[in-house]
Amino acid sequence: MASPTETLEFQAETRQLLQLVIHSIYSNKDIFLRELISNASDALDKLRLESLTDTDLAADTSDLHITLEVDQAARTLTVRDNGIGMTRDDVVDLIGTIAKSGTASLLAKIKEAKDADAAQSLIGQFGVGFYSAFMVADKVTLHTRRAGTEQGTVWESDGEGSYTIAEAEGLPVGTSVTLHLKPADGEDGLGDYLATWKIRQIVKQYSDFIRWPIRMAAEDQDESERRGEPETLNSMKALWARPRSEVTEAEYNEFYQQISHDWQPPAETVHMRAEGTFEYEALLFVPAHAPFDLFSRDAKRGVQLYVKRVFIMDDCDALMPNYLRFVKGVVDAHDLSLNVSREILQHDRQITAVRRRLVKKVLAALKDMRTKDSETYAKVWEQFGRVLKEGLIEDRDNTDTLLELVSTASTHDPEKATTLREYVARMKDGQDTVYYLTGENRAMVENSPHMEAFTAKGYEVLILTDPVDEIWTDEVPSFDGHRFQSIAKGQVDLDDDSDGDGGDEAKTEKAQREQDFAALLGWLQSTLAEHVKQVRLSTRLTTSAACLVGDAQDLTPTLEKMYRAMGQDLPQVKRILELNPTHPLVTALRRAHEANADDLALTDIAELVHGSALLAEGGDLPDPARFTRLLTDRLTHTL
């Protein structure tokens, strides 16, 4: 006897998401069918795979398919599959809850979204799956029975606060989802989903490449039986297995949209076939925009893995490195076992070789796009540049290609980003170094005192403002033989007279200056010993009195902060204070020190010079209250 019907509440987040879905976040309601068919197709994949790998599972896989049934009188559309099915617990867990990470933050963002378009693009990135049924139906009934079990389950909800669940007898293995359709409403984007032409059109558009037959039972069931086989609506062609020359751009785009649930076409398509000892086909896509969770720790990565047309897994991370986590697509390998697990894949030499080849292909496609279609490339870089730069740290094999892809702001043109190659082509005679400065934002970098001499002398400096820039510039020594040099690190001697003429004179002048300032520098060094490891004269300043720099191998303050935020226990990184010997404050300080080295006011000024240099580069003062007091005292003295 069947158990009584239970009424259960949706989880709070699920309820919120349902409300968003029902109140038409999507202007295009037709996609509900794509979502339900995609779930049904996954269920068929799972049953096929499980029956191949679990010989104890007595399941009939001889005719796996999806059926769409229209009942005009009852105004229902049913999506039926004979796939894996669900147990009662599965239904409660999978349909009543959204276990996806990031749901709460996504909901918050959707609520903040300014308009329906922005909200739609956010929810589009998430994929509402099963719940999209409630866009077109005011009641949804689901019957299901898990393969290998006897007990069926029936679930029903109007998408408001709760759902009912009960046992059901005599169900076939698989799942059927019956939508009690809302009336068609053109203005609200609600099509007539009882019309077979409409269903045919939606399946063709969104689900043509689904690898299982999608059949439609004709309106009149009796008549269809008399006519024989129901009609199959989709072509089922595995697009990746067809030669490139036979696939149209529209087909590629539709396929991409099916697997990614994206509403825009991809920015780039890579289709390849490898023959030889390890055969495979790959069809990869670079999306046009980043998913909302690109930088979240548990963001999915990887492509779908098939073995000889049998779906094995989604998000196969062994096939894509972390820094290409935005690439979507399919890899169909011919010589793998269907039982292959993620762990085995991680250590499989052939998979590593496939991955290496795929990475090269994707990077080559991006490089090609950069030369041939710089406008699209600029958009792709804007979306994924920060992630691609992680490759400079992770992937030593492709450093050269990745460096060619880098596009960054520079002092050359405030409006336009530059590539490293363009930078090198513009380098001054005798310059063999690529100068850059990292910082939190463009304005801070541009106004940093470190820039002064470079600007004055016409040297171009790259402006790097992504956190990842701090790290890769530390790890990658050069581009095409030209060393990377932070203008906030090491000795920068732009006065160096490399061709020799006049060099002696400059050297004598420098030596004289060093001698003149020796006493002041020595005194400052001991006075500021707590904060800096050295005080020296600078050649990089023209207008500021002082700046802080690091040794070539030192961590930058931002990097130091990042490591500390990650919980690393670092010793204090002391920096070098550089003084501008031509600045009136510095020359006056020298005179005052010569006149009376014991004047206590000089100590305050030394601290103020150090604090100002910190502030000028956007740094944090060790003791802001003390700095303000010293500054106020000094200002009071001048009045």
What residue ranges bind ligand ATP (CB under 6 A)? Answer: 35, 39-40, 43, 81, 83-86, 94-95, 127, 129-130, 175
Least Cβ distance, residue 22 to ligand ATP (angstroms)? 15
Strand, helix or coil for residue 97: coil
**Residue for token digits 């979502």?**
35
Burial of 109 (0-12, 13-18, 19+ CB in 10 A): middle
Structure tokens at 111: 């609520």
- 16 is an annotated ligand-binding site residue: no
State the CB neighbour count (10 A cutoff) for residue 427.
15
Least Cβ distance, residue 213 to ligand ATP (angstroms)? 15
Least Cβ distance, residue 174 to ligand ATP (angstroms)? 7
Strand, helix or coil for residue 149: coil
Between 83 and 266, CB nearer to ligand ATP: 83
CA separation for the pair 76, 66 (Å, rounded): 16
What phi and psi, each to the nearest 5 degrees, are found at residue 316?
-75, 95
User: What is the radius of gyration, based on Cα positions, of the chain?
Assistant: 33
Q: How far apart are the first and last CA of the chain?
A: 96
Q: Is the dihedral of CA 316, 318, 319, 325 positive or negative?
A: positive
- 129 is an annotated ligand-binding site residue: yes
- 439 is an annotated ligand-binding site residue: no
- 87 is an annotated ligand-binding site residue: no
Least Cβ distance, residue 140 to ligand ATP (angstroms)? 11
Between 129 and 581, CB nearer to ligand ATP: 129
Q: Say if residues 121 and 290 touch (Cβ distance below 8 Å).
A: no
Strand, helix or coil for residue 210: coil
- 100 is an annotated ligand-binding site residue: yes
Least Cβ distance, residue 467 to ligand ATP (angstroms)? 30
Between 86 and 345, CB nearer to ligand ATP: 86
Between 262 and 390, CB nearer to ligand ATP: 262
**Residue 604: partners with Cβ closer than 8 Å, 6 or more residues away:** 630, 633, 634
Between 298 and 620, CB nearer to ligand ATP: 298
Least Cβ distance, residue 260 to ligand ATP (angstroms)? 10
Q: Measuring CA to CA, which residue among 296, 323, 326, 474 is closest to residue 391? A: 323
Q: Measuring CA to CA, which residue among 107, 129, 132, 114 is closest to residue 22? A: 132
Distances 443 to 382, 542, 618 between C-alpha atoms, Å: 19, 19, 10
- 264 is an annotated ligand-binding site residue: no
- 485 is an annotated ligand-binding site residue: no
Per DSSP, the residues of 306-327 read EETTEEEEEEEGGGS-GGGTT-
Least Cβ distance, residue 547 to ligand ATP (angstroms)? 51
Least Cβ distance, residue 11 to ligand ATP (angstroms)? 12
Q: Say if residues 392 and 403 touch (Cβ distance below 8 Å).
A: yes
Between 46 and 482, CB nearer to ligand ATP: 46
Between 95 and 312, CB nearer to ligand ATP: 95
Q: Say if residues 459 and 434 touch (Cβ distance below 8 Å).
A: no
- 101 is an annotated ligand-binding site residue: yes
Between 208 and 262, CB nearer to ligand ATP: 262
CA separation for the pair 592, 590 (Å, rounded): 6
Least Cβ distance, residue 171 to ligand ATP (angstroms)? 13
CA separation for the pair 181, 70 (Å, rounded): 10
CA separation for the pair 96, 68 (Å, rounded): 24
- 516 is an annotated ligand-binding site residue: no
CA separation for the pair 340, 125 (Å, rounded): 29
- 175 is an annotated ligand-binding site residue: yes
Between 102 and 618, CB nearer to ligand ATP: 102
- 24 is an annotated ligand-binding site residue: no
Distances 486 to 9, 263, 458 between C-alpha atoms, Å: 58, 42, 16
* DSSP E strand stretches across 468-604: 478-479, 482-486, 532-537, 546-549, 575-579
Longest Cα separation, the chain:
113
**Residue for token digits 């949804």?**
140
Q: Name the closest residue to ligand ATP (Cβ).
A: 129
Between 90 and 604, CB nearer to ligand ATP: 90
Least Cβ distance, residue 47 to ligand ATP (angstroms)? 9
Least Cβ distance, residue 40 to ligand ATP (angstroms)? 5
- 251 is an annotated ligand-binding site residue: no
Between 176 and 398, CB nearer to ligand ATP: 176
- 182 is an annotated ligand-binding site residue: no
Q: Say if residues 528 and 577 touch (Cβ distance below 8 Å).
A: yes
Between 39 and 473, CB nearer to ligand ATP: 39
- 346 is an annotated ligand-binding site residue: no
Three-state DSSP string of 46-68: HHHHHHHHCCCCCCCCCCCCEEE
- 39 is an annotated ligand-binding site residue: yes
Least Cβ distance, residue 469 to ligand ATP (angstroms)? 33
Residues placed in the known binding site for ATP: 35, 39, 81, 86, 100-102, 125-130, 175, 342
Residues placed in the known binding site: 35, 39, 81, 86, 100-102, 125-130, 175, 342
